[in-house]
């Protein structure tokens, strides 16, 4: 079930909200947990059992991982239990997400020597990358003593399976939400009033902008390599840069708004990333919950920036290599992650990670950062590395060939206007960020924007959804 499907918008979401408002306050977590499992089962089917197995293992391990002031559970015993549970979580992710990729590489290698090796083909469970990271955060935070284990299975089920963030984030670290799981909610209608504008904003981003750009981007990236031109390459790269942002930030806005309506506050996930003046800053603004997760559970345990420059650069590169691989089992994602890791190392080693001071330097560095990010998105979207390098080559070599007939047919006047309008995010200031402003600000501009989004924007987006023009969120595939 998608947030932009009629089933969700007309039936599921209203039913959950009505139940949370009408039924006793103490039922909230149970309503959310059961509703979330139903939500997941409609899209994942039998894979819901895999999610439940992971939940049972991590829930049972939680109390045994808590620090024991009486030393009845020795540190070594807790450490080995943590290693075992994390290994279990990662093994589920590795098997279901990467077994096919691994066997493809083995098959390719054995063919060099005339051998044959079977390729494993497994369907990817929806949201497996996200609920795996939630489970790891849960057990690690307990082991570190940052929060106690949840004894109530309903509260645990609410944290792991909460439908606003289950399929595509934000990635909520356990210590960020643990204090919200006790059911102390009192101002239920106020929460709905605060969360709905944020949900409507995300719906507009997704249905009005991202989905409208999708056919044009698909046409560009479907162009045969021999027919690729300078214009098609740049149109596809810029179009995908905008499509991905409005699709994923739209999902995050919808998730944050939905959670707020249910009485939860999820962490922010985007903060105008295309306004960054360095790649380092870009990663402080793009998919922030993922960056924070890797910082807390990978970068710092590796040593962080302790131990000298060489180890810091190594840790940065490892983190971004893993970030790329987390997104998908393909060499394009690995290269994309390595590419950003190299950029961050270069910025840190040259001092370019610091923000420039003069207006001219800010404009120049902002333009350079945007171009570097756009180049990276080509790897992210391309079907394979060969196609990515072909496209990048055409982006660097101007020609006057123009567009193919297929791309011209996809570039309608409406999509061209939306593309140009969406490009405004390239020029906006870094602050204020629209989502939080819309949710909490009481200024006149924020009130006008809030009313506009909830009426004209939400109504138009709903019409598009009703006509069947919506598409799955891009991050569902991760």
Report the C-alpha gap between 421 and 243 in whole angstroms: 12
Chain position carrying tokens 């207006």 = 359
For the chain, 478 residues long, the average pLDDT of each consecutive 10-residue run is: 85 93 89 94 91 96 87 80 96 91 85 80 88 96 94 94 89 94 75 90 92 94 94 96 95 94 93 94 95 94 87 92 92 95 92 80 92 96 95 92 91 92 91 82 81 86 80 73
Q: Cα(3)–Cα(206) distance, rounded to whole angstroms?
A: 10
- Decide if 474 contacts 217 (C-beta within 8 A): no
E strands of 197-299, at which residues?
none
* Closest CA relative to residue 259, chosen from 202, 308, 299, 298: 202
Class of residue 306 by CB neighbours under 10 A (exposed 0-12, middle 13-18, buried 19+):
exposed
CA dihedral of residues 294, 295, 299, 301 (deg, nearest 10): -100
CA–CA separation, 423 and 282 (whole Å): 17
Q: What is the DSSP letter of 353?
A: T
Quote the pLDDT of residue 72: 65
| Strands of 81-151, DSSP E | none
Give residue 331's pLDDT.
93
Q: How far apart are CA 261 and CA 258, in angstroms?
A: 5
Q: Which of 399, 418, 415 is closest to 407 using CA atoms? A: 415
pLDDT of residue 448: 86
* Nearest of 386, 359, 353 to residue 283 by alpha carbon: 353
pLDDT the model gives residue 392: 96
Minimal CA–CA distance to 169: which of 329, 327, 406?
327
State the Cα–Cα distance between residues 94 and 85, nearest whole angstrom. Answer: 14
Handedness of CA 306, 310, 311, 312 (dihedral sign): positive
Listed in sequence order, the residues at least 6 apart from 331 whose beta carbon sits closer than 8 Å to its beta carbon are 384, 385
Instruction: Give the per-residue pLDDT at 188.
Output: 77
Q: Which of 135, 287, 327, 340 is catalytic?
A: 327
In sequence order, what DSSP letters do the residues of 413-476 get, joined into one string?
HHHHHHHHHHGGGGTS-S-S-HHHHHHH--SHHHHHHHHHIIIIIHHHHHHHHHTT-----GGG
Is 327 one of the catalytic residues?
yes
Query: For the packed helices 128-143 and 75-93, what is the interaxial angle rounded to 10 degrees?
Result: 180
Per-residue model confidence (pLDDT) at position 323: 94
């Amino acid at each position: 079930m998608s947030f932009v499907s009629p089933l969700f918008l007309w039936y599921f979401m209203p039913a959950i909200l009505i139940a949370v408002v009408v039924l006793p306050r103490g039922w909230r977590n149970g309503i959310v947990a059961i509703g979330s499992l139903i939500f997941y089962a409609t899209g994942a089917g039998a894979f819901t059992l895999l999610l439940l197995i992971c939940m049972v293992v991590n829930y049972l391990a939680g109390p045994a991982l808590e620090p024991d002031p009486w030393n009845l559970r020795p540190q070594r015993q807790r450490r080995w239990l943590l290693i075992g549970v994390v290994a279990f979580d990662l093994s589920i992710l590795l098997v279901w997400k990467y077994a096919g990729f691994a066997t493809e590489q083995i098959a390719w290698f054995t063919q060099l020597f005339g051998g044959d090796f079977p390729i494993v083909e497994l369907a990817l469970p929806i949201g497996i990358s996200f609920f795996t990271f939630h489970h790891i955060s849960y057990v690690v935070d307990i082991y570190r003593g940052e929060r106690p284990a949840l004894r109530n299975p309903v509260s645990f089920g609410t944290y792991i399976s909460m439908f606003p963030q289950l399929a595509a984030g934000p990635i909520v670290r356990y210590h960020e939400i643990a204090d919200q799981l006790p059911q102390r909610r009192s101002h239920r209608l106020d929460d709905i009033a605060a969360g709905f504008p944020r949900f409507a904003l995300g719906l507009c981003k997704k249905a009005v902008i991202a989905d409208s750009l999708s056919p044009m981007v698909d046409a560009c990236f479907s162009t045969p390599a021999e027919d690729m031109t300078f214009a098609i390459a740049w149109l596809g790269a810029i179009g995908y840069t905008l499509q991905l942002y409005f699709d994923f930030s739209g999902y995050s806005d919808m998730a944050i708004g939905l959670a707020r309506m249910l009485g939860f506050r999820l962490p922010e996930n985007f903060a105008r990333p295309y306004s960054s003046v360095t790649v380092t800053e870009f990663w402080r603004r793009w998919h922030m919950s993922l960056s924070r997760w890797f910082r807390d559970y990978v970068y710092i345990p590796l040593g962080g920036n302790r131990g000298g420059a060489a180890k810091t650069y190594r840790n940065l590169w490892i983190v971004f290599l893993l970030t790329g691989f987390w997104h998908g089992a393909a060499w394009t994602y690995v290269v994309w992650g390595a590419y950003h890791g190299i950029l961050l190392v270069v910025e840190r080693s040259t001092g370019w990670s610091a923000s420039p001071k003069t207006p001219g330097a800010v404009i120049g560095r902002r333009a350079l950062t945007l171009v570097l990010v756009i180049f990276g998105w080509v790897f992210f979207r391309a079907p394979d590395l060969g196609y990515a390098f072909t496209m990048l080559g055409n982006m660097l070599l101007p020609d006057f060939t123009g567009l193919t007939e297929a791309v011209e047919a996809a570039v309608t006047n409406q999509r061209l206007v939306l593309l140009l309008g969406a490009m405004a995010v390239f020029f906006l200031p870094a602050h204020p960020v629209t989502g939080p402003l819309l949710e909490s600000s009481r200024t006149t501009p924020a009130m006008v924007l809030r009313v506009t989004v909830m009426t004209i924007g939400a109504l138009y987006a709903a019409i598009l959804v009703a006509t069947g023009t919506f598409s799955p969120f891009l991050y569902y595939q991760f």
